[in-house]
Structure 1
């Protein structure tokens, strides 16, 4: 669907993604590109998480370009990784932020303009009116995703409760904390590793389907 992000008529829902596209002058074609990648028109479909990362990298690139910072091949991707990857040390993240600020980039403002996959989904479905055909397989994957999310939420609640009790009774030493419940899947065939949400949303790992199963199923 051709949608102009500069047209914010009264019937259009509020969208952070659309506002950021307009603020960074990314152009309506960028929104169209996101829609094509999500619906898989003429190419492999991308997950909402993939699109959120793509969007945020583009925002970072626009901010770096406007400030005259280097955006050589791979530079934006590396800076974005330093800012967002949980495996990056706090020292490396601070160093990256200081460097960006030294180059005239308001990194706090840029990070506030980063979006989540939920914001991308809302933008595509509610703002652009995009849809894609869901199969029965997709419905089963969605049900599995919701079940896993409920279990993860329950695990987080129980763990936080136990930690707070141990902390309050001075059985352990622990300051203010934030619990991270991460679930990753490593495919031992192709070596790919994904968070469980990303794996389910992208439809699997990098292994190729085994056509021999279809041949013997007749």
Structure 2
């Protein structure tokens, strides 16, 4: 399996992501934002976390104008699989590949810690190795992780099984760290080939680092 990982000025999780997929036996390639095409043979493209362009205008708002994002839209519209993690999730909402928007955290503070998530839907490649209502422990690290969507679009998300993950405590009870609507931590598009989440599964693949719960998430894409 070949995984392309997009790198913008300010991206800081591309090598974590590369290490995570390489440890799962994948071929990986870092894709510079000025590239105007997705390499042939990519089975998955990851928009990695960080602070693209320093988030100087709005998280993901400048990155969406990079040449590679035009290519990514074509790739996704042709059925290619895309995963946006943290800032990558923000970029995907800014480009319209995913619905909703990411706002400043409700408490106006940067949050960096492990946090529990509950699996809401696993009828997709990303979470197919996880169980419904399974609680996982995944790091979060964001300042603008407050997912917002209006009530009509929220109903559509649920109707189409696009809500994937919610923030909870270790028992699966809602524990919302940033004010996200319905405590939503991750979603997908209607076609279920574009995925976005604020937590960092690529930082949770080795128990030595506090959790390996992210491993099953990333493995869902392999041989999918």
Q: Which interval holds the TM-score relative to the shorter structure? A: under 0.3
The alignment's TM-score, normalised by the length of structure 1, stands at 0.25
More strand by share: 2
Greater CA radius of gyration, 1 or 2? 1
More helix by share: 1
